[in-house]
Amino acid sequence: MENKRLFFGFDVACPWPERLPPGRLLAEPDRHLTLAFLGSGDEEKLSADLSVFSGLPFSIGLSAIFDHPLFLPRKSPRVAAWRIHWLEGGELFSRFQHGFVDWLRERGWEPKGVRDEFLPHVTIARKPFGILQWKEAFRKQPLFIRDFCLYESLGGLRYRACWRCPVLAPFDEIEHTADIAFIVRGTSIQNLFLHAQTALSFHFPQLLDYFSFGEVGSLEGIVEALNRMIGKADAEIGSPFKAVSYHGNLKGMEILEWEMIVDV
Amino acid sequence: MSELELLHPATYLLPKRGGMRVPGLVIANEGLLKEIEIDRPLEQVRNVAELPGIVGYSIAMPDIHWGYGFPIGGVAAMDAETGVISPGGVGYDINCGVRLALFDQPFEAIRERDRDALLKALFERIPSGVGHGHGGERSLSDADYRALLEEGAGWSVKQGYGYPEDLERMESHGKIEGASLDAVSRLARDRGRLQLGSIGSGNHFVEIGAVQKIYDSQTASKWSVFEGQTYILIHSGSRGFGHQICQDTLDLFMKKGFAEGLPDRQLVAAPIQSEEGRTYFTAMAAAANFAFNNRQQILAGVRGAFRDVLRSDPRKVRLLYDVCHNIAKFEEHMWEGKKRKLCVHRKGATRAYGKGAKELSELFQETGQPVLVPGDMGRASHLMAGLGNPLTWSSACHGAGRARSRVKSMDAWKGRDIIEHLLAQGVSVLASSKRTIAEEMPDAYKDVDSVVEATQQARLAQMVARLKPGLVVKG
């Protein structure tokens, strides 16, 4: 059997900065959130086990913020990473992580390096790097997690997904001739509101400081709240958005969908 | 598209159907109609034709594309007594507009190192990008606001940004009557406080280049425009101040139920003579006057850059004209043999008064008003003269119009050196954001030459000169 380095994790979507400090950078598509490291193992058995995997406890990828740089392991850092602060489903994710490790163990797998307290993060670079430079360059960024994958490490900071459990994106940017537009998804009006804000922050991460977690009860309420946020941000720091338009209707039952058009 | 009936050259009728109160009128030639995505904007032309009080036609210009409620490149005139006024018919960027200034030296005569210095000086002097950009140290007080809204661009002239003769070279002399700060929310004031004199982001810019070709030498000569001459084109609007006024009005109109019965709630509109309609006009005029001041102060920045780099007298950067292309104005027009007072909405469309129009200064009464048609930063822009076509309430096109979405444009240019690419075409560009450059690359736009040809074929405006950009500052 080949000695493969296998691990489970999530694809991550983020408006990655064009410029990062020096270091051995992971390519954007290779940046992921590791959940459990397996090392090598019997792939046929793993495939059989995964065929009965019951799925994820969420159908739409969770939104979060990279809120802090991390240098791991702390005593003698080998990687520069960004910490994840969940905007939704933090406890749910934590329960899933623990439950998934148990699920693996029940099937005879022993994930390595599992700690009681899981620290969600994404590795951006490996050493050599300058900690001070990375600290100074760090800016908050929005993200959401996408497909749950079994990855194989190919070496040279490259990874390949050999199995995936798909997750809907909280939003997709779509074509619009003059402005920018998104299909935003949510499990509720409130959830749709969060994902609409996340979509905007992918174009303008500084908007993260203006996120609103107040109650909204309707699509028009979402549009008004988004526009209040844009207005406040524009008054204080400037905004590339003029406004979100009163466009579109809610579609769907379990998963709500809305076509959001943003005047720029 | 098959529904369109050719009326005159480059002028098509979109017949009435369903709830349309008037037919549509589409200005385009065959080539453009084949090239452009027309179905969605035409649906918007039909929707606009359902608005109460609309007179004549719901009109589409050759640079039409899908917009908020109204298409961009749309014109609609409402009866001033019985009609409605719609923020969607003006757009978020109230009095977004263009001004053209001329410098009496040929562009080729400016040495390459001076051109580089000029571009750098423009970028440093004129804030660009989101918010107040890299400037914004001056904050407007409410007293400043009251004065500038009341005086229009004359306020900036009094503050030292330009000269009294500039005011003669602006649509409506740089001031829309009836503006009042009382109709403007605190948030709108806060959004605008640090933004006066800034370009903003998106498709706004300052460009410098050469008059490449003269088509109408008589008019060009009257306007002192010559081949090779250095020109300066400024495109900006009312910034966050105007955006918020539009948003506040939309929120209010929605709450008041003014969208009921309309085919698209983004067309939400209040009767012109209602309290809400009057308040919107007052606030819109405030934003329009903010925008005139904005472009006046940007021009002052340009003059400062020319003075610093070329040691030229700032008066040698001579304003030719300033036009609004997102506005609603009360105008008198003849319709069916009668003089009618109309509220003409021009959204992504330029007023194009012809010879003899009373509002114009003596010079432009002789020629028709200048119509400024910015293209894209790689190919060209155009200077035209209005022909005062009554079919379009004396309106013409406003630009090239987007042909490709921002997402597609970004994808197409990902990983390529766009600055070098433009440089190879003779265009130096500086921008606050590389993303903006990628979104605004020339191939994201229709060919402006086709748009102005259709405009001329339809007898809305006459081509005077083609302008070729050389230096561009983007947001």
Pick from A231, A237, A264: CB nearest B244? A231
Q: Is the pLDDT of residue A4 over 50?
A: yes
Q: What is the ipTM of this complex?
A: 0.87
Residue ranges in A65-188 assigned as alpha helix (H):
90-106, 131-137
By CB atoms closer than 10 A (0-12, 13-18, 19+), residue A130 is middle
Is residue A262 a contact partner of residue B157, using CB atoms and an 8 Å limit?
no
CA dist B30 to B27, B62, B304, B305, B380, Å?
10, 11, 45, 43, 22
Contacts of B312 (CB under 8 A, 6+ apart): B103, B105, B306
Helix (H, G, I), strand (E, B) or coil at B186: helix
Helix (H) or strand (E) segment spanning residue B255: helix B239-255
| pLDDT score, position B71 | 95
Rounded to whole angstroms, the Cα distance separating B468 from B208 reads 8
pLDDT in tens, B374-402: 999 989 999 999 999 999 999 999 999 88
Is residue A64 a contact partner of residue A113, using CB atoms and an 8 Å limit?
no
Pick from B92, B187, B407: CB nearest A235? B187
Q: Give the residue carrying structure tokens 């998106």.
A: B202
Rounded to whole angstroms, the Cα distance separating B281 from B349 reads 18
Q: Which strands form B338-347's sheet, in the order they lie side by side?
A: B5-8, B11-14, B24-27, B54-65, B72-79, B338-347, B326-335
Q: Is the pLDDT of residue B404 over 90?
A: no
Rounded to whole angstroms, the Cα distance separating B59 from B42 reads 10
Is residue B387 a contact partner of residue B10, using CB atoms and an 8 Å limit?
no
Instruction: State mean pLDDT over B220-239.
Output: 98
Q: Is the pLDDT of residue A204 over 50?
A: yes
Contacts of A227 in chain B (CB under 8 A): 247, 251
Q: How many residues does chain B have?
A: 475
Rounded to whole angstroms, the Cα distance separating B89 from B190 reads 25
Q: Is the pLDDT of residue A1 over 50?
A: no
Instruction: State mean pLDDT over A182-190.
Output: 97
Instruction: State mean pLDDT over B54-68.
Output: 95
| pLDDT score, position B403 | 82
Percentage above 70 pLDDT, chain B: 98
Does residue A116 or residue B172 have the better pLDDT?
B172
Is B398 known to be catalytic? yes
Q: What is the identity of the amino acid at B253?
A: F
- DSSP per residue, B424-463: HTT-EEEES-HHHHHHT-GGGB--HHHHHHHHHHTTSEEE
- Contact call for B131 and A174, based on CB within 8 A: no
Contacts of A204 in chain B (CB under 8 A): 130
pLDDT in tens, B344-371: 999 999 999 999 999 999 999 999 999 9
Interface test with A, best of B247, B262, B434 (most A CBs within 10 A): B247
Which of the four pLDDT bands, split at 50, 70 and 90, describes residue A179?
Answer: confident
Angle at B275 between CA B273 and CA B281, to 5 degrees: 70
Instruction: State mean pLDDT over B84-94.
Output: 97
| pLDDT score, position A194 | 98
Angle at A236 between CA A15 and CA B294, to 5 degrees: 105
Burial readout B367-380 (b: 16 or more C-beta within 10 A, e: otherwise)? bbbbbbbbbbbbbb
Pick from A177, A239, A247: CB nearest B405? A177
| pLDDT score, position B129 | 82
- Contact call for B193 and A237, based on CB within 8 A: no
| pLDDT score, position B34 | 85
Range of weakest confidence among B26-35, B206-215, B291-300, B457-466: B26-35
B406 touches chain A (CB under 8 A): yes
Interface test with B, best of A246, A249, A259 (most B CBs within 10 A): A246
Contacts of B217 (CB under 8 A, 6+ apart): none
pLDDT in tens, B117-143: 999 999 999 998 876 655 555 799 999
Q: Which two tokens stand for residue B11?
A: 């002028």
Q: What is the identity of the amino acid at B195?
A: Q
Contacts of B92 in chain A (CB under 8 A): 242-243, 263
- DSSP per residue, A198-240: HHHHHH-GGGGGG-------SHHHHHHHHHHHHHHHHHHT--S
Helix (H, G, I), strand (E, B) or coil at B89: helix
Interface test with A, best of B47, B66, B68 (most A CBs within 10 A): B68
Please name which of B181, B18, B178 lies closest in space to residue B85, comparing C-alpha atoms: B178
**If you average pLDDT over every residue of chain A, what do you get?**
94
Rounded to whole angstroms, the Cα distance separating A256 from A107 reads 36
B66 touches chain A (CB under 8 A): yes
pLDDT in tens, A40-97: 878 889 999 999 999 999 999 999 999 999 999 999 999 999 999 999 999 999 999 9
| pLDDT score, position B1 | 58
